[in-house]
């Protein structure tokens, strides 16, 4: 049809141009005799449509078609087209259609592949709590990751437009794309390591934290865990088992401290009685074992600088600190019986950072790694879109007195919307099939909490589960999740082409 | 027809010496090439499998792979075959599964779990061992091991490498500082742990992120407290995991799991520590005193800079009941193609000769009773080999490796996951038992 319409159109174009200069009498003659019109059957229609050449009467076309269309075809013959299309069709069939159909078929069978189970595999996707966790995690991923990646990409793209070293900056941000996801996973496994000496994330956090509050004292020290110990742990603090009387020295033996940490401490000394409430706080452990329990032995070390409180009726009456040899004395305390308490502040464990790889933070932690990888990619796409938007619109707005924020909010973002949407939807598709990062970053013990559908699919079918029926069902389920976004994206591309 | 394909040229050249079986396998040999069917000595210097190509897949990498390749070299020198080694990585099932599906399995595979023998036998992916290989098994192994490699009344596999899993590794320095002695009963072990903890060192470095280390711990406690008969029943899921004997074992484990000062970093730290890292924590960073794992810890001990036998010592897993537990792990060799080369290689690996070549490499322990302990390079291994040989029939194989892998061998699933959850929340013994039973029921039903 196209070439047929082209002919009269071209003629009509000439016609009107000619008509403007030389007058209307030429008009009927030219289309009929001109070589442009390839259809000899058309003259009857020609004059009728002369002023309006495009819509040829359908009847005329149908009758003319058989006789005249072959010489008029511009494209390749259908045979040739089939030959060119064939390799692609075959490859598509072998790599897409056949596996898809086979997966659907396989998903209706059990682990052995011999027994038909109908939709039972699909039902168990929604009844098994482990699989439900993967679906929940995928929802978290889809909701959080694409938004952050797109927003970060937009921010980077807009900012890099304005800085001097934008290319270098973009290069650095884009660099993670050059790293394979597996390697990125290994890197982030280390970044999130709990031990601040190994994990960068916790190293930063503990450094910042320690700059504001330093932990002193004896973390880990505790009373010995048996019935004879004169002091017991109570809500983090250490309290004497029996109320203490002035004149009788109080013994507070502690254990559980690394002996190297108190290597240089002075030997402990049993407090002498005398007036007032006194006692000793010491590490009741002899290197190599031995020593009398709950007694101050000569090799044992005193714990200096421990805060000691005398408590009566729940009220702190006096506070003191131990000396280098571990002894303490409350001077000028009224007679009576007191509980001697070493408050929790003495034993506060050093801040050890955040448990990134624990069950509660694992998914956010992995999403963080994902963003590191993909934000640069989003930035490059958005920056390309940014360079294509008309500058005059921005400048007009600025001349009209719009602030930079208004320009960004009202001009840049709306003009960029198509690109942003493409990036966003691509990220959604990408996130739905996330696999490698979860597999590498999550330690074995939190794999169930970090699991996603794609990983579950692999694990169920190949990674020990040995149930390829269930795996196929999961893969089809994943496909169904991806398809709407695929269609959306394809539609968009088509609209853009038009 | 202008040119013969190179493979055919090679075939013609080698026709007198051996069969040319890259695809169709060695079965062509018996018909066409009489020299190949005869035994080696008959041909004098000629090697029986000259030109034969064998592919063997196993999980070993690094040093273990290098040591195993020395054994393969000895086989190549003896027979003239060419053996290629393919590493399956940690997850043998994931490597072999697609290759079996694709109809292109390796000739020989070393499976890390007897459970896989059963699974692949069900899928008809294995070839029964030839009479020669079976003769070697009868000669060198107790019937228990033969049963392990059998499925559906056929012998498919032979245990070629054993791992002694009833050990506790300790750091002598930490024990000296605390004045602790190696324990022989579970209660002593807990007392020791308290002493060590009081002295300011974490008694245990648990590798909770590697689920199999927890199943190993459970198996030792269970075998010891419930006895071998119950062990066999539980391994086959003939008694449920909600059984009282399981409760006892889990409660004993909770004596460790329930005290955060008993584990380096508490349970949250333990759950983030994977296998070789916990060894480093004991011998490298010297933050903990004991690590409960098998003989193969020795390799990681060396990497941490400690010396086995001096600072790094072992104690047999203490008795938590009436039985002194001896739990073994190990790798089972199976034939996935019925080729002459595959059978000859398995025969070699099952033989005294092959076992002794391997035994001279570090980090290897043979389940073959005719491999003399004198072959081992160090006293420790000699001692371990002796315990296996003398324990004889009362030895049990690692239970989780006997279970379907969906239950006993998958990261984040089944027993691994349930014991990790138990480590996270050791007060809920009943809940852990119920989860274990539910997962076991699902996996065993298939």
Per-residue pLDDT of A374-394, as tens digits, reads 999 999 999 999 988 888 888
- The sign of the dihedral angle between the CA atoms of A123, A128, A129, A134 is negative
pLDDT reported for residue A494: 87
Q: C-alpha angle B342/B347/B351, rounded to 5°? A: 150
Distance CA A210, CA B231 (A): 51
Distance CA A353, CA A191 (A): 12
SS3 A463: coil
Residues in chain A with CB shorter than 8 Å from the CB of B404 are 466
pLDDT reported for residue B37: 38
Contact B285, B201 (CB under 8 A): no
Phi, psi of A233 (to 5 degrees): -80, 135
Q: Which residue among B97, B210, B406 sits closest to A444, beta carbon to beta carbon?
A: B210
Q: Which two tokens stand for residue A374?
A: 């993909």
CATH 1.10.3720.10 assigned to A120-194+356-497: yes
CA gyration radius for chain A? 40
CA distances in angstroms from B305 to A439, B172, B176, listed in the order given = 30, 14, 19
Residues in chain B with CB shorter than 8 Å from the CB of A467 are 406, 446
pLDDT band at B168 (very low <50, low <70, confident <90, very high): very high
Contact B204, B168 (CB under 8 A): no
Mutant choice from A113, A303, A357, A466 vs B, greatest count of B C-beta within 10 A: A466
Name the more confident of A70 and A136.
A136
3-state helix, strand, coil split of chain B in percent (to 5) is 50, 15, 35
pLDDT reported for residue B30: 38
What is the residue-averaged pLDDT of chain B?
84
Q: C-alpha angle A413/A416/A421, rounded to 5°? A: 105
Nearest CA in chain B to A460: B406
pLDDT at A58 > cutoff 70: no
Q: Which residue among A112, A259, A451 sits closest to B177, beta carbon to beta carbon?
A: A259
**Domain residues of chain A, as ranges?**
2-72, 120-194+356-497, 231-347
pLDDT band at B135 (very low <50, low <70, confident <90, very high): very high
Distance CA A473, CA B391 (A): 47
What is the residue-averaged pLDDT of chain A?
81
Name the more confident of A112 and B226.
B226
pLDDT at B279 > cutoff 50: yes
Q: Which two tokens stand for residue A401?
A: 């007195």
Query: A123-127, A156-160, A217-221, B387-391: which has the minimum mean pLDDT?
Result: B387-391
Name the more confident of A296 and A439.
A439
Distance CA B120, CA B103 (A): 13
Q: What is the mean predicted confidence (pLDDT) over A60-74?
A: 51
pLDDT at A229 > cutoff 60: yes
pLDDT at A486 > cutoff 50: yes
Mutant choice from B101, B199, B257, B435 vs A, greatest count of A C-beta within 10 A: B199
Distance CA A353, CA B14 (A): 67
Query: A107-121, B2-16, B47-61: which has the minimum mean pLDDT?
Result: B2-16
Mutant choice from A445, A450, A471 vs B, greatest count of B C-beta within 10 A: A445
CA nearest A125: which of A483, A485, A467? A467
pLDDT reported for residue A391: 87
pLDDT band at B446 (very low <50, low <70, confident <90, very high): low
Contact B325, B317 (CB under 8 A): yes
Q: Which two tokens stand for residue A198?
A: 């190994």
Query: How far B80 CA sits from the closest chain A CA (Å)?
Result: 35
pLDDT reported for residue B45: 55
pLDDT in tens, A167-210: 888 888 889 988 899 999 999 999 998 888 888 999 999 888 88
pLDDT band at A8 (very low <50, low <70, confident <90, very high): very low
pLDDT reported for residue B325: 86
* Cβ separation B97–A467 shorter than 8 A: no
Query: A299-308, A396-405, B171-180, B283-292: which has the minimum mean pLDDT?
Result: A299-308
Residues in chain B with CB shorter than 8 Å from the CB of A222 are 261
pLDDT at A349 > cutoff 80: no
Distance CA B146, CA B169 (A): 30
pLDDT in tens, B341-361: 999 999 999 999 999 999 998
CA nearest A319: which of A375, A381, A277, A362? A277
Pairing state between β B82-87 and B150-151: unpaired
Distance CA B141, CA B119 (A): 23
pLDDT reported for residue A21: 42
Residues of chain A contacting B, Cβ within 8 Å: 110-112, 130, 194, 220, 222, 224-225, 255-259, 261, 285-290, 355, 357-359, 443-448, 451, 458-459, 461-467
Query: A61-70, A273-282, A321-330, B324-333: which has the minimum mean pLDDT?
Result: A61-70
Query: How far A310 CA sits from the closest chain B CA (Å)?
Result: 26
* H or E segment and range at residue A337: strand A337-342
Nearest CA in chain A to B275: A444
* H or E segment and range at residue B389: helix B379-391
Complex ipTM: 0.72
pLDDT reported for residue A216: 64
pLDDT at A46 > cutoff 70: no
Query: A433-437, B5-9, B210-214: which has the minimum mean pLDDT?
Result: B5-9
Furthest CA-CA distance within chain A: 136
Burial class (CB in 10 A: 0-12, 13-18, 19+), B244: exposed
* Cβ separation A288–B98 shorter than 8 A: no
pLDDT at A48 > cutoff 80: no
Residues in chain B with CB shorter than 8 Å from the CB of A465 are 405-406, 410, 413
Query: B2-16, B51-65, B167-181: which has the minimum mean pLDDT?
Result: B2-16
* Cβ separation B411–A464 shorter than 8 A: yes
CA nearest A437: which of A426, A448, A450, A424? A450
Query: A3-17, A267-281, B415-429: which has the minimum mean pLDDT?
Result: A3-17
Neighbours of A433 (CB within 10 A): 17
pLDDT reported for residue B20: 40
SS3 A245: strand
Pairing state between β B108-111 and B327-335: antiparallel
pLDDT at B270 > cutoff 50: yes
Name the more confident of B40 and A128.
A128
pLDDT at A66 > cutoff 70: no
pLDDT at A455 > cutoff 60: yes
pLDDT in tens, B295-313: 888 888 888 888 888 889 8
pLDDT at A418 > cutoff 80: yes
pLDDT at B6 > cutoff 50: no
pLDDT at B290 > cutoff 90: yes
Domains of chain B and CATH, by start: 20-164+329-394 (3.40.190.10), 167-325+403-445 (3.40.190.10)
């Amino acid at each position: 049809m196209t070439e047929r319409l082209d002919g009269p159109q071209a003629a009509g174009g000439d016609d009107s141009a000619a008509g403007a200069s030389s007058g209307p009498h030429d008009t009927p003659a030219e289309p009929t005799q001109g070589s442009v019109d390839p259809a000899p059957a058309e003259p009857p229609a020609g004059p009728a449509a002369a002023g309006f050449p495009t819509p040829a009467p359908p009847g005329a076309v149908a009758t003319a078609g058989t006789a005249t269309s072959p010489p008029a075809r511009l494209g390749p013959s259908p045979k040739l087209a089939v030959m060119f299309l064939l390799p692609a069709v075959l490859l598509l069939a072998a790599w897409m259609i056949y596996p898809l159909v086979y997966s659907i078929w396989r998903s209706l069978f059990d682990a052995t592949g011999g027994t038909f189970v109908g939709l039972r595999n699909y039902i168990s996707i929604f009844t098994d709590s482990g699989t439900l966790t993967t679906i929940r995690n995928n929802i978290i991923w889809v909701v959080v990751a694409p938004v952050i990646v797109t927003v970060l990409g937009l921010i980077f793209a807009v900012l890099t437009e304005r800085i001097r070293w934008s290319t270098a900056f973009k290069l650095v941000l884009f660099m993670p794309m050059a790293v394979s996801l597996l390697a990125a996973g290994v890197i982030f496994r280390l970044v999130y390591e709990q031990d601040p000496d190994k994990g960068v994330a916790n190293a930063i956090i503990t450094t910042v934290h320690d700059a504001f509050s330093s932990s002193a004292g004896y973390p880990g020290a505790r009373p010995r865990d048996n019935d004879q110990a004169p002091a017991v742990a109570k809500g983090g603090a250490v309290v004497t088992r029996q109320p203490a009387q002035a004149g009788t020295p109080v013994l507070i033996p502690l254990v559980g401290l690394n002996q190297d940490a108190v290597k240089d401490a002075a030997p402990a000394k049993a407090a002498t009685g005398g007036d007032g409430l006194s006692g000793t706080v010491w590490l009741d452990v002899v290197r190599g074992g031995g020593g009398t329990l709950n007694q101050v032995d000569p090799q044992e070390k005193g714990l200096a600088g421990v805060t000691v409180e005398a408590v009566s009726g729940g009220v702190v009456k006096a506070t003191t600190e131990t000396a280098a040899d571990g002894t303490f004395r409350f001077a000028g305390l009224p007679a009576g019986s007191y509980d001697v308490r070493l408050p929790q502040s003495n034993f506060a464990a050093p801040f050890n950072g955040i448990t990134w790889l624990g069950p509660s933070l694992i998914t956010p932690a992995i999403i963080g790694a994902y963003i590191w990888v993909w934000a640069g990619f989003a930035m490059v796409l958005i920056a390309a879109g940014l360079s294509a938007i008309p500058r005059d619109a921005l400048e007009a707005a600025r001349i009209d007195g719009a602030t930079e924020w208004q320009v960004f909010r009202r001009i840049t973002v709306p003009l960029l919307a198509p690109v942003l949407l493409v990036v966003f939807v691509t990220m959604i598709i990408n996130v739905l099939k996330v696999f490698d990062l979860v597999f590498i970053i999550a330690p074995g013990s939190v794999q169930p909490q970090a699991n996603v559908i794609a990983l579950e699919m692999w694990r169920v079918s190949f990674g020990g589960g040995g149930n390829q029926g269930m795996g196929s069902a999961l893969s089809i389920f994943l496909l169904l999740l991806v398809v709407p976004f695929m269609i959306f994206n394809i539609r968009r591309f088509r609209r853009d082409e038009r | 027809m202008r040119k013969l394909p190179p493979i055919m040229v090679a075939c013609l050249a080698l026709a007198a010496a051996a069969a040319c079986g890259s695809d169709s396998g060695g079965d062509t040999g018996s018909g066409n090439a009489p020299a190949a069917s005869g035994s080696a000595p008959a041909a004098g210097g000629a090697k029986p499998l000259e030109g034969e190509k064998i592919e063997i897949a196993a999980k070993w990498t690094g040093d273990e792979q290098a040591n195993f390749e020395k054994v393969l070299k000895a086989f190549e020198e003896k027979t003239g075959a060419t053996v290629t080694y393919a590493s399956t990585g940690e997850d043998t099932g994931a490597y072999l599964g697609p290759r079996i599906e694709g109809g292109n399995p390796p000739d020989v595979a070393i499976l890390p779990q007897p459970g896989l023998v059963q699974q692949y036998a069900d899928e008809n992916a294995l070839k029964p061992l030839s009479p020669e290989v079976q003769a070697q098994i009868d000669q060198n192994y107790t019937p228990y091991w033969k049963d392990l490699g059998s499925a559906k009344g056929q012998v498919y596999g032979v245990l070629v490498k054993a791992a002694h899993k009833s050990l506790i590794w300790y750091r002598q320095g930490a024990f000296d500082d605390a004045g602790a002695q190696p324990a022989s009963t579970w209660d002593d072990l807990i007392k020791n742990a308290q002493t060590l903890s009081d002295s300011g060192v974490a008694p245990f470095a648990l590798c909770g992120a590697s689920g199999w280390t927890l199943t190993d711990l459970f198996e030792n406690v269970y075998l010891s407290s419930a006895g071998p008969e119950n062990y066999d029943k539980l391994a086959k899921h003939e008694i449920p995991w909600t059984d009282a004997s399981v409760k006892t074992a889990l409660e004993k484990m909770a004596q460790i799991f329930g005290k955060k000062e008993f584990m380096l970093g508490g349970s949250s730290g333990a759950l983030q520590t994977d296998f070789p890292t916990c060894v480093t924590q004991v011998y490298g960073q010297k933050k903990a005193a004991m690590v409960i794992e098998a003989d193969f810890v020795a390799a990681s001990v060396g990497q941490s800079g400690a010396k086995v036998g001096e600072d790094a010592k072992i104690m047999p897993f203490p008795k938590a009941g009436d039985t002194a537990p001896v739990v073994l792990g190990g790798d089972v060799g199976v034939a996935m193609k019925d080729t002459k080369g595959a059978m000859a290689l398995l025969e070699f690996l099952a033989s005294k000769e092959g076992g002794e070549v391997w035994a001279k490499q570090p980090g290897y322990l043979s389940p073959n009773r005719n491999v003399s302990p004198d072959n081992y390079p160090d006293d420790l291994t000699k001692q371990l080999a002796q315990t296996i040989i003398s324990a004889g029939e009362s030895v049990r194989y690692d239970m989780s490796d006997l279970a379907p892998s969906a239950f006993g061998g998958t990261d984040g699933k089944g027993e691994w996951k349930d014991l990790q959850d138990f480590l996270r929340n050791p007060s809920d013994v009943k809940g852990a038992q119920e989860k274990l039973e539910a997962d076991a029921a699902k996996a065993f039903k298939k």
